[in-house]
């Protein structure tokens, strides 16, 4: 069974439940039902507050509709849809560039794949979401970043880039302390950027879930809108990372990191320029640079 078919089955079952109950629903619950039918593929990634705002109803009405459909509440309804997405995630995905007997020159094929990753990422990232992420980074008291494997390197680069443009940022370092222990220092006025690419680290997902429970906004930087970390995220940036090996290419990820730090700098130009000048002067005065 394909991943798409698994998700479609879960959505079809809920649609049937809604259609069966629709004639007997009160008018306010019908407004929620209409919203669910129109936006059913978004529902697994929306909070009850977002649905309340976008459907023009109330949290109580959303809960009552879920109960009318046979669920204990909205969370159980959303979890049912999530299960279909999570099952689809378990369907194996191959890296087709390794298939076939022909051996091609590595430099050219890798370059073409990276250009493809970058172009697809640029064309698919929603600009409103990108702007909202930049706003979250800029308005946060402190930005924390985390990831494992290649994601750890990307998390450190994002934290470094943000510091260069006057945003207080630091990565979670996986050494003597766990990510969960480091999360204790973060609060609702901070932001957590979680990098999560295949194979998805359970620890990263668990920390994102814990952060969401503590009301800490989570930005997921991942390979697709349905990766496990997105279930606990406030905003999602999906970035293509396909590579010819069973690893992730970081070319498109680097582009997005650079674009985010640039967007933040442009929105906070005066402070960013001052910070960059101060850093350069400090490094010059300390003899950090080698003589030409």
pTM beyond cutoff 0.75: no
Rg (CA), the chain: 22
CATH number of residue 279's parent domain: 3.40.50.10490
d(CA 180, CA 253): 25
Same domain as 115, residue 71: no
For residue 196, the cross-strand partners are 222
Q: For residues 121, 247, 209 and 224, what is the CA-based torsion angle, rounded to 10 degrees?
A: 30
Question: How far apart are alpha carbons 178 and 185 in whole angstroms?
Answer: 12
Q: Which CATH number characterizes residue 53's domain?
A: 1.10.10.10
Question: What DSSP string runs through 241-284?
Answer: ---SSSS---HHHHHHHHHHHHHHHHHTHHHHHHHHHHHHHHHH
Task: Assess whether 275 and 170 both reside in one domain.
Answer: yes
Residue 255 counted as domain residue? yes
Residue 228 falls inside a structural domain: yes
249 and 147 part of one domain:
yes
292 is a domain residue = no
Contact 259, 129 (CB under 8 A): no
Q: Which residues of the chain have pLDDT under 50?
A: 1-8, 86-98
Position 255 scores a pLDDT of 93
Q: Are 131 and 263 in contact (CB under 8 A)?
A: yes
Q: Residue 241: what pLDDT?
A: 86
Count of domains forming the chain: 2
Q: How far apart are CA 59 and CA 66, in angstroms?
A: 11
The range of the structural domain enclosing residue 38 comes to 3-89
The whole-number pLDDT of residue 274 equals 79
**Residue 148 and residue 272 in one domain:** yes
């Amino acid at each position: 069974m394909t991943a798409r078919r698994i998700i479609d089955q879960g959505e079809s079952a809920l649609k049937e439940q809604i259609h069966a109950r629709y004639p007997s629903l009160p008018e306010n619950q019908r407004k929620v039902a209409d919203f669910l039918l129109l936006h059913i593929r978004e529902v697994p990634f929306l909070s009850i507050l977002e649905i309340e705002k976008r459907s023009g109803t109330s949290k109580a009405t959303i809960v009552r509709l879920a109960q009318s459909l046979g669920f204990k509440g909205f969370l159980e309804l959303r979890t049912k849809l999530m299960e279909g997405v999570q099952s689809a995630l378990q369907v194996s995905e191959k890296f087709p560039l390794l298939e076939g007997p022909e051996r091609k020159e590595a430099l050219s094929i890798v370059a073409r794949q990276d250009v493809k990753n970058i172009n697809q990422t640029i064309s698919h990232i929603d600009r409103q979401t990108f702007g909202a992420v930049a706003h979250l980074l800029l308005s946060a008291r402190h930005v924390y970043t985390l990831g494992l494997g290649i994601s750890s390197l990307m998390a450190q680069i994002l934290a470094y880039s943000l510091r260069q443009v006057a945003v207080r940022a630091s990565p979670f370092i996986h050494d003597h302390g766990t990510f969960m222990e480091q999360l204790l220092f973060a609060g609702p006025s901070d932001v957590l950027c979680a990098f999560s690419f295949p194979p998805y680290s359970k620890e990263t997902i668990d920390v994102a879930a814990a952060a969401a429970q503590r009301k800490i906004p989570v930005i997921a930087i991942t390979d697709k809108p349905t990766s496990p970390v997105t279930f606990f995220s406030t905003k999602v940036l999906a970035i293509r990372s396909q590579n010819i090996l069973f690893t992730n290419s970081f070319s498109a990820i680097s582009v997005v990191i650079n674009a985010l730090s640039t967007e933040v700098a442009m929105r906070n130009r005066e402070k960013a320029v001052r910070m960059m000048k101060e850093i350069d002067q400090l490094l010059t005065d300390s003899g950090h640079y080698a003589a030409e």
